Amino acid sequence: MSPKTMRIFGPPGTGKTTALLDVVERHLREGVPAHEIGFMAFTRAAAREAKNRALQVFPWLDSDDLRWFRTIHSACYSLLGLGRGSVATGAKLRDFALQFGYEMSPPADRDPEDFEVQEMMLRTLGDYLLFFEDWRRNLMLWDITEAYNRFLEPVDWPDGWSLQQVREFHQRYRQWKADNGLVDFADMLMLVLRDRVAPPVSVLIVDEMQDLSPLQAEVIRLWASGARLLYLAGDPDQAIYTFNGADPGIFLNWPHDDDRQLTQSHRVPQTVHEIALRLIRRNRERVDVPYKPQQEEGYVRFGYLNSLPIETLAQEGSVLLLARNRYLLSDFTDALVARGLPFEALRGSSPLRTGVTSVILAGTRLTRGERVSIADAARFVDALPSDRYLVRGAKARMAELARQCPEADIAVWEMEPHFKPSFWDLLVNRNGSFIEALRLPPLQRAYYKKLLERGGERALLDAPRIKVGTIHSAKGMEADFVVLRPEMAGRTYAEWLRAPEGERRCWYVGLTRARKGLWLLEPAGMRAIDWRLEL
């Protein structure tokens, strides 16, 4: 029996997430048991936001009551009763690559409970082969030859790419998983379909429907067959995961009983709204829906990175520095490091989210004569070169103290026996000179010194106002000011020339993250979107 189905269309900033959370709240107030509501989000952050909102409104609930507030892959992981050791990710994939001689970009260790689809870095033949294996299953292309012929244009083939290589990788990867009792994330979807297991929910809510692949959509159909009510929310103009098999047509063509259109943006100002619509309306394969900007006029400006007033923007509000491809982010991070500005990376490691920050905080406090925990003091001592600044055995003694009483505190004068006189000359200066002694690359030392000079200790403790990432990593986010650089990687640019509609959707998402101002950087190369032509 098919559930009663409503589609919710939510252009950028129109409150789609809020509308879905209102649906959750309404059904909870109507008496639907919390464990019978499923909220399938595209990202773990969205799933957590939905769960936290429900827990705030209904404080007598606990997290287990909302056990089906998850990403689709996380729900599959739970339904199948898998353990973390049974998922082919991180170190296990590195072992596979080593065993069969594939060069692969270092795969991240992903918590299956928090899995979300991300853009991939395709640098090596091994990267392409692994991505292809996932891509074809998401598209439900079971014939490898057919999938091979649809995957890449010849101009995009990496060195060594061939049908034989693809078949050989498929056989090796499948056998390796079977021999080691492992599954990957596409396998989870396939196993759920094979075993026909579904969460026991009567109300099923699915967010970001435009980014579902055919395989994911089949899972949702299975789960919806046991539900009474089905809510599907999305915006086909924001479908940016087609590279991974997503098909916005699934959402547009899904059988439904009712539609709801959210029309008023509470984020996008008038000037940004105008150029964003001008861009997306160049696409022919879309459905135009009513969409109005917020009252603020906002602004759109053109400029160059070296003259961009990043400091001023960060003083006035939050800032998103966005690029189409991950390798293009280095110019942003280099500029921020050179200026000594705190920032957070949306993908990969952030300098202020590493252990170095706690070491520098400990050093800063010790120079002021304050007490720090012995555990922090031990980390600080461990970051110093032994031969130049420490007496023999200092690191071992501090580590032993930290093991014995990590919560106890210690002052710098109590650590005097561990330091050579040469270090005291640096430590007693309160302008961060001790940073020069730390075992860090010169640029990193200079960065932390500038941070302390600019903002003091708060620069290390406060959440950075500047975030750096790809357009994909900023999906669902917003900021007062957005900076977009126009360049693209070679494969992305080839896709832009061949089939620009998908890329326009990606740039549209980037443009519409802005609440106040939008900065469009001038291109630094030929492979770039022409802002003035497209907008």
Q: What is the pLDDT of residue 183?
A: 95
Each residue's pLDDT tens digit, 185-222: 999 999 999 999 999 999 999 999 999 999 999 999 99
Does 72 share its domain with 203?
Answer: yes
408 and 340, same structural domain?
Answer: no
CB-based contacts of 448, cutoff 8 Å, min separation 6: 356, 360, 432, 435, 440
User: Are 489 and 418 part of one and the same domain?
Assistant: no
Q: Where are the alpha helices (DSSP H) in 107-160?
A: 125-138, 144-151
Q: Is residue 530 part of a domain?
A: no
Question: Residue 3 — very low, low, confident or very high, per pLDDT cuts 50/70/90?
Answer: very high
Give residues with Cβ within 8 angstroms of 480, minimum separation 6.
Answer: 313, 316, 317, 318, 319, 514, 515, 516, 517
Distance CA 119, CA 278 (A): 26
Q: Do residue 279 and residue 223 come from a single domain?
A: no
- Rounded to an integer, the average pLDDT of 401-422 is 84
Output the pLDDT for position 1: 67
Indicate whether 332 and 388 sit together in one domain: no
Q: What is the pLDDT of residue 516?
A: 97
Residue after which a domain boundary falls, among 261, 287, 313? 261
Regarding whether 76 and 208 lie in a shared domain, the answer is: yes
Q: Total domain count for the chain? A: 4
Last residue of some domain: 158, 182, 206? 182
Q: Is residue 136 part of a domain?
A: yes
Among 228-232, 292-296, 376-380, name the one with the lowest average pLDDT: 376-380
- The domain of 382 spans 355-461
> Which of these three, 182, 215, 237, is where a domain ends?
182
* Sign of the torsion formed by the C-alpha atoms of 166, 167, 170 and 175: negative
Say whether both 57 and 198 belong to one domain: yes
Which residue do the tokens 């892959």 mark? 73
Query: Do 468 and 333 share a domain, yes or no?
Result: yes
328 plus 470 within the same structural domain: yes
Higher pLDDT, 496 or 46: 496
Residue 75 lies in a domain: yes
What distances in angstroms separate CA 361 from CA 215, 222, 369, 380, 390, one per listed residue? 48, 52, 13, 9, 19
Report the SS3 class of residue 517.
Answer: strand
290-334: per-residue pLDDT in tens? 999 999 999 999 999 999 999 999 999 999 999 999 889 999 999
For residue 535, being part of any structural domain is answered with no
Which range among 25-39, 318-332, 428-442 shows the weakest confidence by mean pLDDT? 428-442
- Check whether residue 177 and residue 193 sit in a common domain: no
Residue 319: predicted pLDDT: 98
- Kindly state whether residues 197 and 177 are assigned to the same domain: no
More confident: 130 or 353: 130
Q: What is the mean pLDDT of the chain?
A: 90
In a domain, residue 531? The reply is no
Comparing 277 with 151, the larger pLDDT belongs to 277
Token digits for 296?
């603020």
Q: Is residue 526 part of a domain?
A: no
Are 451 and 381 found together in one domain? yes
